[in-house]
Copies of this chain bind each other. A is one copy, B any other.
Amino acid sequence: MTVRVAVAGASGYAGGEVLRLLLGHPGVEIGALTAHSSAGRKLGGVQPHLWPLADRVLEATGAAALSGHDVVFLALPHGQSAAVAEQLGGQTLVIDCGADFRLVDPGQWERFYGTPHAGTWPYGLPELPGGREALRGAKRIAVPGCYPTAVSLALAPAYAHGLIEPEAVVVAASGTSGAGKALKPHLLASEVMGGMSPYGVGGVHRHTPEMVQNLSAAAGGPVTVSFTPTLAPMPRGILATCSARTKPHAGYRELREAYGKAYAGEPFVRLLPEGQWPATGAVAGSNAVHLQVAYDEDAGRAVVVCALDNLTKGTAGGAVQSMNLALGLPEETGLTCVGLAP
């Protein structure tokens, strides 16, 4: 039995990555592909790496094209998913790769996006406590942001085991695909290559409340996150360095045990052997997350470094993993933990 899948936003990076993964997924048939400004063009001219779909014509995003599918992935700019989702029946599995349905607190949504809150959907991060249960049989899924995926997986075990204080500090480097295909001067190759820069530091980043939401749930109480994202000269990947003061009873052994336990048996999250550090290159194109934990005794802090591919586990891979759970397929179908290196 195959399910019929449509992708809205097929011309962008997230939509393209969903399609790349679906092309290797044995249980799906790829249906409508839609876009906004590229509607009417062949996909091959926009996404030349997706050769088997090169002659498919992009349709305009909307119910006309998207209805009649078993699954619809939305890879749209923030704020546009609700209107599309409403037009799709309740029996369609709708998976939103955007931010619209991630936050529980309407006030936080309005603070950062300035529009009315669209609602809250089951959250597509199976590795969090209770994460898988929320997704089985779901008909609506909010795919986590790429930064929150990295940070939540990096710090949730330490919070769940009560090993660190509630004030976390995160500095993360992201590849440029995380910023999408928008034609903005700071995303030009000439500007990006050969340099690093922060972005969105000036106040609090839009992704912070999602991290706070996940980590507060893990900690069972309020957590704050000081988050600084930076743009790195690479197309893909997130390297998140996360730290917090350890509680008095917590040292290296307790940290290592907590992470070992939290991710034992997880198909996509790996605590690296001692002495080995995560590198985004090792997870490129894969759904894998590599983690390492250190204890800085001088500063009294736990430091957790996490590497993942922002487009795969951070977006499209996480979305496919959640789809598998919602449809009752084996969770790993169509996904790999093997990276493309070098």
Contacts and interface: CB of A to CB of B under 8 A. Distances in A.
Interface string A162-198: 0000010101010111000101110111111111111
Contacts of A177: 190, 342
A67 interface: no
Contact of A305 (B44, B228, B279, B337): B228
A154 interface: no
A332 to B, nearest CB: 11
A28 to B, nearest CB: 14
A339 interface: yes
A324 interface: no
Given A173-B173, A184-B183, A239-B230, A13 B190 contact: yes
Contact of A51 (B52, B270, B303, B307): B270
Contact of A189 (B173, B193, B282): B193
Contacts of A199: 277
By size class, the interface of chain A is 35 or more
A183 to B, nearest CB: 4
Interface in A10-66: 13, 16, 20, 23-24, 44-45, 47-52
Contacts of A250: none
Nearest to A302: B226
B49 A226 contact: no
Interface in A281-297: 281-286, 288, 290, 292, 294, 296-297
A48 B279 contact: yes
B338 A234 contact: no
Interface stretch (A87-95, A132-140, A201-209, A257-265): A201-209
Number of identical monomers bound together in the oligomeric complex: 4
Contacts of A126: none
A279 to B, nearest CB: 4
B340 A51 contact: no
A341 interface: yes
A193 B296 contact: no
Residue with the highest number of chain B CB atoms closer than 10 Å, among A233, A239, A270 = A233
A299 interface: yes
Residue with the highest number of chain B CB atoms closer than 10 Å, among A13, A169, A196, A279 = A196
A96 to B, nearest CB: 22
Question: What are the 7 closest A-B residue pairs judged by CB atoms, nearest first?
Answer: A195-B281, A49-B339, A189-B192, A171-B171, A197-B279, A226-B299, A49-B341
Interface of A: 13, 16, 20, 23-24, 44-45, 47-52, 167, 169, 171, 173, 175-177, 181, 183-185, 187-199, 201-204, 208, 224-226, 228, 230, 232-237, 239, 241, 243, 245, 270, 272-273, 275-286, 288, 290, 292, 294, 296-301, 303, 305, 307, 336-342
B276 A197 contact: no
A296 to B, nearest CB: 5
A320 B42 CA distance: 31
Contact of A169 (B169, B185, B284): B169
B197 A16 contact: no
A224 B301 CA distance: 10
